[in-house]
Amino acid sequence: MCPTQAIVAPYQLDARRCISYLTIEHKGSIPEVLRPLIGNRVYGCDDCQLVCPWNRFAQITGEADFAVRNGLDDAALVELFGWDEQAFVTRLAGSAIHRIGHERWLRNLAVGLGNARTTPEIVAAFAGARRSSVCAGARSMWRGRRRATAASAERVLMKVSKALTQRRKEN
């Protein structure tokens, strides 16, 4: 049931393997060995909640704060990956997702995209014009690849992220 086998024994959970921890709380790189297991979960997981016996008593809330925003329940990862920092801040204001920040959001999306079947849209997203000035190296990593993996996707992102940070320091 748990995609990453984070529940290691009765009443014991290894948070270092939990997708909710890795995509929300964890800073830095997601361990390569876990990336393929994350699938397209880009913010949390909670698959274990589906089998939690207590949740059979749960009711769907009418609380507006819990309603879907910005069509996030039906958005393509590649589309979300295209949000720049301003779009991230504006569209996720008031959402719990907002607190992970734009870079962690992109990191998670990169893992999800790396796990997806490669499409021209995904390759173009990584090689996008907005990033082209800072990620020539990243673009070349993609060139010639027949299939993107989560590992390579995240490596690309880390390169882009480092280049952006460097550029900010220089300006």
Q: In the complex, which residues of this chain contact ligand SF4 (CB under 6 A)? A: 2-4, 6-7, 13, 18-20, 45-48
Residue 127 CB, shortest distance to ligand SF4, in Å, is 31
Nearer to ligand SF4, 2 or 123 (CB): 2
Nearer to ligand SF4, 3 or 82 (CB): 3
Residue 58 CB, shortest distance to ligand SF4, in Å, is 16
What whole-number distance in Å separates Cα of residue 65 and Cα of residue 19?
A: 23
What SS3 class is residue 56? helix
Residue 21 CB, shortest distance to ligand SF4, in Å, is 7
137: number of CA atoms within 13 Å, CB side? 12
- Residue 64: phi, psi to the nearest 5? -60, -30
Is residue 15 a contact partner of residue 22, using CB atoms and an 8 Å limit?
no
